[in-house]
Amino acid sequence: MQPTVPSRRAGFALWLATAAVLIAAGIFVPYTVLAGSALVFAFWSVFGLSIILLILWAVSGWRDRP
């Protein structure tokens, strides 16, 4: 039986799309929508937590194979 390569690629595509959206939001939102607002701190807090969760999602599938 063959390994399920397409599902791993689909998972990576979803991860990559999520990363792209987060990066675009990190560039666009604080400097346009929230410029001069006190909500910028809250945005960066949520953004940082989201990036940490994204990294944890990425490395959760890593396995130490001999």
Q: Is 36 left (phi over 0), alpha (psi -120 to 50) or beta?
A: left
**Residue extents of the structural domains in the chain:** 5-59
- Contacting residues for 61 by C-beta, under 8 A, at least 6 apart: 8, 11
Residues contacting 19, CB < 8 A, separation 6+: 54
pLDDT digits (tens, 9 = 90+) for 42-63: 999 999 999 999 999 989 878 7
Q: How many residues make up the chain in this entry?
A: 66
Please tell me the predicted confidence (pLDDT) of residue 44: 96
Residue 29 parent element (H or E) = none
State the pTM of this model.
0.76
Q: Using one digit for the tens of pLDDT, what is the confidence trace for 10-46?
A: 788 899 999 999 999 999 999 999 999 999 999 999 9
Q: How far is Cα 3 from Cα 1, in angstroms, rounded to an integer?
A: 7
